[in-house]
Amino acid sequence: MKTPDLYIPGPAWSIRIVSLKTNCALFSRPYSGLDIWHPEPDFWHHPSYYVRDDQYWYMIPGKGKFEGYYYIKNWVTHKVIYSRGDQRPYVGTDENNEDHGDHYFKLEPGTGVYNGCFRLRNYASDTCLISRDTEPEVYNCRASDAPADEQYFKFDLYALLDLPPPSSGSSTSIGPWAPSPNISKMINLNGLLKMLAGFALSQVPHVGGLLSGIIGLYWPDENESLTWAQIEAGVRSIVRDMLDEEKVKELRKEVEVLKDLIKRYDAGSFGTQQKAEKFNYILDHFTTIKRNFLDNETPWHTLQYFIPMATLHLTFLRHQLFLWDEIYPEDAGADKEVHQKDLEDAIKEYTAAAEKIFEKCIAWRMEQTIFKTPWIKTEWVVNDPPQFRFVHDYERDIVRIAKWNVGTHLSYPPNETYRDTAHEDPNDKWQLPWEHEDIDRRPKLGFTQDDMVERYYHDLRDSADAIYRQQIKDLLAPSLQWPQFINDNKGQYTPVPRDVICTTTETLGSGITTGMTHFNDREFAEKHGPISQIAIWGWDRVEGFEIWYGGVGSGHRGGYSGEKKMLQVGEGESVVCVSGRISEFQQDNSMVPGGADDRYCEYLHSIRFFVSQEKSISCGGDGGAGEPKMPDNFRLGQPYNGPTKDPATPRVMYVYGWASDEHIEGFGASLVKTESV
């Protein structure tokens, strides 16, 4: 089998390395002992939707005996990854030493389901790095171990940075765009399902070839069960709690029966009675399966079979419409209008079912897997037990906790904002230190524990909404092709464009203020169109902004103090990059109701929006009316990609986050690109 080509960035480019198994990016942090800003471990992984500087690595080619291997060096710490088998710790980062074999890795390209991925195989120890969600999460294994998801990684080409290392030469081309691993593990399934219909529609030389093309893709001569296993595993990874296992089991049997029938039908000769009889039986079989999907109004119960079975059924109805005379030569020309209506009606019914599946899946994901509990008392504490509220995202195994210690000298109800009666103005909300002793920059923050819960809850929903919405759209993408089944295109297929989210973040920043408001512009952007204008206000930090979509303002967020700047996005232009800095401060919670521990909060210090490297807008970062003085520590997209009309270029679709009356307290963004189905 030919090993697939693997694009490896040149040594002048830094890139993120993302695990196929966990969707986490490897990072290296400066080790500072008890320093709270950089806690142990100094080499680990972090969810890839949160982009940080310490996740960027240079792939430096080895020389001499290390030719063909790479020295993987972190942009922030300048340390290199090692993997060894005879000394603890087995994996980590170390100081530069180009003579150590345990610092060099071969990138072994994956094949089959791992196409586009690679293993990091060490020169000296013959071990491979792994990233998983069980302890120890970042580790190594023997290179001889059976291939597994945890051994494979991908480059995140959407977050490739042109930041040269101190000793690097000139930059080189970043190569073609490739699927980003930071949305979901559904990317292989998405590509597979789109290929099944799209390839067959566009490549076959005649109408009848559509069926043969789809049969060959669904049931290839080799590893014919692999396709269905991929579909099954991919769907279960995102909708496992919505499936009806009994119905799934029944349909699995139906698929096996259909496989043999369809293959025998396709191998038969037109004009024979046997082929006509098999065709009748197959259509009757699909009518029964269709009833299982549509008549009970729960097509999501067997979702892994919906797209394949609907596509096959429509293919046979298309066969009936355009090849009737060849299947039934004695009835040539009969009932063509009826057959056309059968196909048109089926397309409408299956398309409506796909829309219903989408809405149902989104409702399930947002309402049933992300939720907040009421206040819960600790039963084992007799006197004044502490109370807790939990915010859960069961799909991502994330839990956020708010705690209220009853019985302290601060025994205020958890939903009451504390007002300091012992210091200064009793009507002024408690003031938190913002950055050391810079009194002028301290925001007047007061918040309740319930405010904290709301912050956690909506932050989880924002990122889950973007990611999960795209996963379901990917799963249902072939339904966009179904309307073309009605055309006798004979190999002429018109690709259907669609926007796909290629990069998104959890909300950056973690400050909490009573009265702050949550915003999410997704629905606004879908209704009005792409970003057309941006206004931002800032001085030492980001005070506020307003974004227009398709010429319609989404409303002002935050405050109006500081310098106002405007950016017009012209026709044919897009916002191709947003970057900035998230800075930290210690939020002293010693006076918060319930005696909460101090929180190390993050805030939006600076922000930049790019149409191109020459056309941008920025504020904050201690820059006053000028450019930010503080360097960026997050970036989504690439400024050097614009302005461009290339639909494959990622562009900012919408933003979300939190705003108080004075500042932007949290910020996130989703980028899309256009692809053809």
Q: What is the 3-state secondary structure (H, E, C) of 281-319?
A: HHHHHHHHHHHHHHCCCCHHHHHHHHHHHHHHHHHHHHH
Task: Tell whether 157 and 140 lie within a shared domain.
Answer: yes
In the predicted structure, residue 443 carries a pLDDT above the cut 90: no
Model pLDDT, residue 398: 75
Task: Tell whether 498 and 624 lie within a shared domain.
Answer: yes
Task: Tell whether 323 and 393 lie within a shared domain.
Answer: no
Q: Going by DSSP bridges, is the β-strand pair 398-404/577-587 parallel, antiparallel, or unpaired?
A: unpaired
| Average pLDDT, integer, range 12-30 | 85
SS3 336: helix
Q: What is the pLDDT of residues 249-278, one digit of tens each?
A: 777 777 777 877 888 888 888 888 888 888
What tokens were used for 219? 């049931």
Task: Tell whether 201 and 235 lie within a shared domain.
Answer: yes
In the predicted structure, residue 591 carries a pLDDT above the cut 50: no
Model pLDDT, residue 218: 61
Model pLDDT, residue 4: 45
In the predicted structure, residue 439 carries a pLDDT above the cut 60: no
Model pLDDT, residue 96: 77
Any idea what the CATH number is for the domain that residue 385 is in? 2.100.10.30
Model pLDDT, residue 500: 85
Q: 111 in a domain, yes or no?
A: yes
Pairwise pLDDT comparison (89 vs 162), residue with the higher score: 89
Task: Tell whether 344 and 409 lie within a shared domain.
Answer: no
Task: Tell whether 319 and 397 lie within a shared domain.
Answer: no
Q: 7 in a domain, yes or no?
A: no
Please give the tally of structural domains in the chain. Answer: 3
The answer to whether the pTM exceeds 0.75 is no
Q: 495 in a domain, yes or no?
A: yes
Task: Tell whether 407 and 355 lie within a shared domain.
Answer: no
Q: 407 in a domain, yes or no?
A: yes
Task: Tell whether 394 and 319 lie within a shared domain.
Answer: no
Pairwise pLDDT comparison (249 vs 312), residue with the higher score: 312
Confidence class of residue 115 from pLDDT cuts 50, 70 and 90?
Answer: confident
Task: Tell whether 355 and 393 lie within a shared domain.
Answer: no
CA distance 541 to 590: 26
Closest CA to 303 of 263, 360, 254: 360
CA distance 496 to 429: 55
Percent of the chain at pLDDT above 70? 72
| Average pLDDT, integer, range 590-614 | 70
Q: What is the pLDDT of residues 556-576, one digit of tens each?
A: 999 999 889 999 999 889 999
- Strands (E) in 452-576, as ranges, are 497-504, 517-520, 531-538, 542-549, 552-553, 557-558, 563-568
Which of the residue ranges 314-318, 407-411, 412-416, 544-548 would you say has the lowest mean pLDDT?
Answer: 407-411
Confidence class of residue 175 from pLDDT cuts 50, 70 and 90?
Answer: very low
Q: 353 in a domain, yes or no?
A: yes
Place of tokens 């502490």: 386
In the predicted structure, residue 554 carries a pLDDT above the cut 80: yes
Pairwise pLDDT comparison (182 vs 413), residue with the higher score: 413
Task: Tell whether 77 and 148 lie within a shared domain.
Answer: yes
In the predicted structure, residue 32 carries a pLDDT above the cut 70: no
For all residues of the chain together, what is the average pLDDT? Answer: 76
Task: Tell whether 210 and 136 lie within a shared domain.
Answer: no
Q: 116 in a domain, yes or no?
A: yes
| Average pLDDT, integer, range 85-106 | 90
Confidence class of residue 595 from pLDDT cuts 50, 70 and 90?
Answer: very low
Confidence class of residue 383 from pLDDT cuts 50, 70 and 90?
Answer: low
Model pLDDT, residue 200: 45
The last residue of one of the domains, among 349, 368, 387, is 368
Q: 5 in a domain, yes or no?
A: no
The last residue of one of the domains, among 161, 178, 208, is 161
Any idea what the CATH number is for the domain that residue 40 is in? 2.80.10.50
Task: Tell whether 34 and 120 lie within a shared domain.
Answer: yes
What domain range includes position 598? 377-676
Confidence class of residue 63 from pLDDT cuts 50, 70 and 90?
Answer: very high
Q: 176 in a domain, yes or no?
A: no
In the predicted structure, residue 144 carries a pLDDT above the cut 90: yes
309 CB-near residues (< 8 Å, 6+ apart): 251, 255, 286, 289, 290, 293
The last residue of one of the domains, among 368, 393, 412, is 368
